[in-house]
Amino acid sequence: MSTVFSGIQPTGGLHLGNLLGAVRNWVDNQGDTVGFFCIVDLHALTVPKEPGEVGKGSIELARELLACGLDPTESTLFIQSHVPEHAQMGWLLQCNTGFGELNRMTQFKDKSAKQKDFVSSGLFSYPSLQAADILLYDTNQVPVGADQRQHIELTRDIAVRFNSRYGETFVVPEAVSPAAGARVMDLQNPTDKMSKSAATESGTIYLAEDLSKTAKKIKRAVTDSEVEVRYDPEAKPGVANLLGILGAATDRDPAALADEYSQYGPLKSDTADAVVTLLEPIQERLSELQQDPDSVTAALITGARKASTTAQATYQRAVQNIGLTPPG
């Protein structure tokens, strides 16, 4: 079975784009792959955070992932800082990453430009920590969007370099495009991906939001000044997004759905109904988990234990191959 690793930042709640584009595939693939799902709290620290913020966000994210159906007995769901080998391996890999390589990372350029007061060196060396996340688990595949491809390429380069300097240590992973999930766009700016950092809240549907708000957001989604319902993401991005969401939520083909509508109103109300139907059971499960915080803690302890077994073995292999002197 192939090993798949996904890292998710604990910053802000999950939204519909995360669910339809990624999390739903993870849940469906459980059992067919060995899945590691890591809440990357150490990565979240690369930009300034208030005390307590990252810890709270990590628990919220764990709860949401469990509510979406990640099964802690089938998959390994854990928090990055609970497995100290991430930080330790991160250092070993920083020492095998070129300054020039990091300097070419476009995400660093984008993110550092947005930080006005303080750009941490952690933000710069972040891809080495990401490489550690992936390489610790002998990962074969990393499902990522276009924005993360460059980091996976760098991970491969680091793995190959380390193996040639110190001997066979790491499996060289590959980036895979997430399975044909929906690419959900912002409801107000349908040419941008749905995102938690969007300019306005009304374009993003959060999994945990009040469902009456959800229906309103969909009914107010930007369309266009025509009246024709047609699946054409280039010419009619707003309408195509609604059809894509309705299709993903009801397991139907968006282009075929278009034939069933001649007006935007009914398309919007059916899409709203479908999304509400999709989110209702997730929200029920979320509120059960909120009332039972111990079960979330227990799942994370189990996850950290499972992750540690593999992470410790890989870290020891790296240290031995480098030839650091063992204690005792």
| Site residues for ligand TRP per CB under 6 A | 5-7, 9, 40, 43, 130, 133-134, 142, 144, 148, 151
3-state secondary structure of 143: strand
| Distances from the Cα of 148 to the Cα of 48, 125, 174, 255, angstroms | 21, 15, 12, 29
- 95 contacts: CB under 8 Å, gap ≥ 6: none
Q: Between 9 and 88, whose beta carbon lies closer to ligand TRP?
A: 9
Indicate if 196 belongs to the active site: yes
Indicate if 111 belongs to the active site: yes
Q: Between 68 and 142, whose beta carbon lies closer to ligand TRP?
A: 142
Q: Between 133 and 186, whose beta carbon lies closer to ligand TRP?
A: 133
- Residues 163 and 175: their CA atoms lie apart, in Å, by 19
- Nearest residue to ligand TRP by CB is 7
Q: Which of 49, 114, 116, 196 is catalytic?
A: 196
68 burial (CB, 10 Å; 0-12 / 13-18 / 19+) is buried
**Smallest gap, in angstroms, from Cβ of residue 92 to ligand TRP?**
16
**Smallest gap, in angstroms, from Cβ of residue 213 to ligand TRP?**
26
Q: Between 63 and 86, whose beta carbon lies closer to ligand TRP?
A: 86
Is residue 187 a contact partner of residue 214, using CB atoms and an 8 Å limit?
no
34-39 and 141-143: which strand pairing? unpaired
**Smallest gap, in angstroms, from Cβ of residue 142 to ligand TRP?**
5
- Residues 202 and 213: their CA atoms lie apart, in Å, by 9
- Residues 203 and 224: their CA atoms lie apart, in Å, by 15
**Smallest gap, in angstroms, from Cβ of residue 197 to ligand TRP?**
12
Q: Between 175 and 221, whose beta carbon lies closer to ligand TRP?
A: 175
Q: Give the pair of three-digit tokens for residue 47.
A: 């930009």
**Smallest gap, in angstroms, from Cβ of residue 115 to ligand TRP?**
15
141-143 and 76-79: which strand pairing? unpaired
Q: Within 13 Å and on the Cβ side, how many CA atoms surround 121?
A: 3
The amino acid at 42: L
Q: Which of 49, 56, 109, 111 is catalytic?
A: 111
Indicate if 49 belongs to the active site: no
**Smallest gap, in angstroms, from Cβ of residue 172 to ligand TRP?**
14
Q: Which of 56, 193, 213, 306 is catalytic?
A: 193
Expressed in percent and rounded to 5, the helix, strand and coil fractions of the chain are 55, 10, 35
Q: Between 80 and 223, whose beta carbon lies closer to ligand TRP?
A: 80
CA dihedral sign, ordered 137, 104, 95, 322: positive
3-state secondary structure of 90: helix
Return the active site residues.
Answer: 111, 193, 196
